[in-house]
Chain A
Amino acid sequence: MNSKQKEILMRKRYSAEKRFKFFGIFSISLAILFLCILLFNIFTSGLSAFFKTKLILKINFDEKKLGINMNTPDEAIKASNFNEILQDALLNLDLLAPDLKKIELIDIVSIDATYELKRFYLQNKDQLNKIVEISLTLSDDLDQLYKGNFPRDIPEDRRRFSDFQLKVFDEQNSQNKIITEFNFSFFKNADSREPELAGIGASLIGSLLTILVCLILSFPIGFLAAIYLEEFAPKNKITEIIEINVNNLAAVPSIVFGLLGLGVFLNYFYLPRSTPLVGGLVLALMTLPRIIIPCRAALKAVSPSIREGALALGASKVQAVMHNVVPLALPGTLSGTIIGLSQALGETAPLILIGMVAFINVVPTYPIDPSAVLPVQVYLWSESAERGFVEKTSATIIILIFFLVLMNSSAIYLRNKFEKKWS
């Protein structure tokens, strides 16, 4: 080969390398671009759900209208009606409103406003017979208008608030009576038919309980199964069949596990429907192979010389594995488990089948209380017609992504922490 041929060969090699690099960078940029579009989309439509719009009203806590006095016990206050003083305050916004429009005035605030007043009074009983300025949640239609999620130039018959309500709203806005505050109730409340009241409290707790049940079941079982299969099981036809089936199970569509849960846990064992207990059981079945596989890989990656070293000291096989192999396999095991659980956290289909798609308006306390989960809540709200649910859907996705990122980064953190320790 002369120098000219050599030069051509080298040039070809360089350009091939450049081409390869270019394709690599191109694919990564494309992936990052799509990720950015997704995140931008979700955040722009979801962030406003973390705030709620309120109207400042002058409320007269008149003891005659409330039918209570300073000595009324809390129970009686809870039973009394705060609607009248609320309506008085709302009607005061426009004293000249014709009778027909009065109902529109009352509809400016959320139906929860009367309970907000009651809660306020229960904590400030000294305000009886005084006139107090209190901020009350606006109805979701005006909330969406204020946040700019709903265009105001749409003809009256095609929007959910009237011209009269719009006029009153603008008046109040120009007097700085409309304020925005952080939406704590979004994290505390359960689902509701009223978007301004709907929150992810129930689905957050539900997801937490479900994942907890899933973790308690799937981690010990999966981990021990992996240790037995990898370290102790004889290598024969039966273990081979088990291994193939574990791998196959990891690839089974999740909805199939939902059907299994429906058939076995609900219809045969009569476990309570739509509860974190059953959800966790179903997800544990689904997560088991996804834990066994990385755990086995982590155990396999431990150098056999560690096992031999312990055995040569006269350790039993169980001692050799538990004292020396498992600590080295721990980082891989933990990160595999966490990633398996984060997949379970985002799972929707199997939970719908066991009834976790029900409308739950109470925050659950125990794993046997009916509850919702975050991904199913996203699914439910994405189907709702009201404007207010659009931002709630995106906000729930943000929370879900937050937990996924949290779990995955803790997996990376644990892996690095333990790996550094022994190398």
Chain B
Amino acid sequence: MINEKIKISTKNLNVFYASKQALFDININLKENKVTALIGPSGCGKSTFIRCLNRMNDVIDICKVEGSIKIDGDEINKKNLDVNLIREKVGMVFQKPNPFPKSIYDNVAYGPRIHGLAENRESLDNIVENSLKKAALWDEVKDRLNQPGTGLSGGQQQRLCIARTISINPEVILMDEPCSALDPIATAKIEELIDELKETYTIVIVTHSMSQAARVSNDTGFFHLGKILEFNSTEKIFKNPDNKLTQDYITGRFG
């Protein structure tokens, strides 16, 4: 328990969609270089929560976020902060693979290009290669980097999106049900990848699969009706949860 540095912490986080409140007083601490899984029935606010962490909720006009979100101790939920800088630091992988209408190479090179991370063509090539290698996709696509990213299979597309996310070297990766559109084999590959990525990145993953949460995460948080009912180590949550509802949910009795 000595090396466990807190990466992200929220305090009294409340989120409203117009007049409807989606999250109630979320207080949570996410540890550095660990995988945190967020579970809970549909509509409980898991996705809303992780979208707060890279200010993606700004895109939704009617959404209002109140409270404090700190990354490495710096407040990110304040008005005059450049959201692009936060998103450079906190990457996101979405539910449905969403490759850009570009080649595989350009998909990965897009982030480094807009942030000016590569000085020349050679270093850009290196970033692309390393990102694809880290995303365990390099061997499958190295001969067709110029083909459209949309031509890959669903699982490959999702790994391409992960490569794209890590290309700008973020500190945190948010994953919003990254395997819900994938078959079991592709899912297994992504899970393996998550295990490797946590060496370098802090990962927050939203998932509907209990087994996935149990397999990949160090900590698990259980959301219910916009509140966090229980947050603890994954082992504790799955073996001996404090809350009766958590117990019911993970054993499939409701949700």
Contact = CB atoms under 8 A, between A and B. Distances in A.
A148 interface: no
13 contacts: A305-B98, A306-B98, A307-B59, A309-B164, A310-B100, A312-B91, A312-B165, A313-B111, A313-B165, A314-B168, A316-B84, A323-B110, A421-B148
A314 B96 contact: no
A328 B98 CA distance: 12
A306 B110 CA distance: 13
B255 to A, nearest CB: 25
A310 B101 CA distance: 11
B89 to A, nearest CB: 8
A235 interface: yes
Nearest to A307: B59
Interface in B160-215: 161, 164-165, 168
Interface in B79-104: 84-85, 87-88, 91-92, 94, 96, 98-102
Interface of B: 54, 56, 59, 61, 84-85, 87-88, 91-92, 94, 96, 98-102, 110-111, 114-115, 148, 150, 161, 164-165, 168
A23 interface: no
Interface in A3-26: none
A314 B84 contact: yes
A401 interface: no
B94 A308 contact: yes
B96 A312 contact: no
A27 interface: no
Interface residues of A, number: 23
A327 interface: yes
A314 B98 contact: no
Contacts of A314: 84-85, 87-88, 111, 114-115, 168
A308 B98 contact: yes
Given A323-B100, A421-B148, A422-B101, A315 B56 contact: no
Contacts of B96: 305
Interface of A: 234-235, 303, 305-316, 319, 323-324, 327-328, 421-423
B101 A327 contact: yes
Contacts, number: 69
A234 to B, nearest CB: 8
B148 A324 contact: no
Nearest to A311: B59
A8 B100 CA distance: 54
A151 to B, nearest CB: 63
Contacts of B102: 324, 327
A236 to B, nearest CB: 10
A328 B101 CA distance: 7
Contacts of B59: 307-308, 311
B164 A313 contact: yes
Top 10 A-B residue pairs of the complex, sorted by shortest distance between their CB atoms? A312-B92, A314-B87, A305-B98, A314-B88, A309-B98, A314-B84, A313-B111, A422-B101, A327-B101, A324-B100
Nearest to A312: B92
Given A234-B61, A303-B98, A305-B94, 12 more contacts: A235-B61, A306-B98, A309-B164, A310-B100, A310-B110, A311-B87, A312-B94, A313-B111, A314-B84, A314-B114, A421-B148, A422-B150
Contact of A423 (B61, B100, B150): B150
A84 B84 CA distance: 86
Contacts of B164: 309, 313
A422 B84 contact: no
Nearest to B113: A323
A312 B91 CA distance: 6
Contacts of A319: 114
B22 to A, nearest CB: 18
Contacts of A235: 61
Contacts of B99: 309
A305 to B, nearest CB: 4
Contacts of B165: 312-313
Contacts of A312: 54, 56, 87, 91-92, 94, 165
Q: Which of A311, A314, A319 has the most CB of B within 10 A?
A: A314
A235 B168 CA distance: 33
A225 B23 CA distance: 37
B150 to A, nearest CB: 5
A306 B149 CA distance: 13
A302 to B, nearest CB: 9
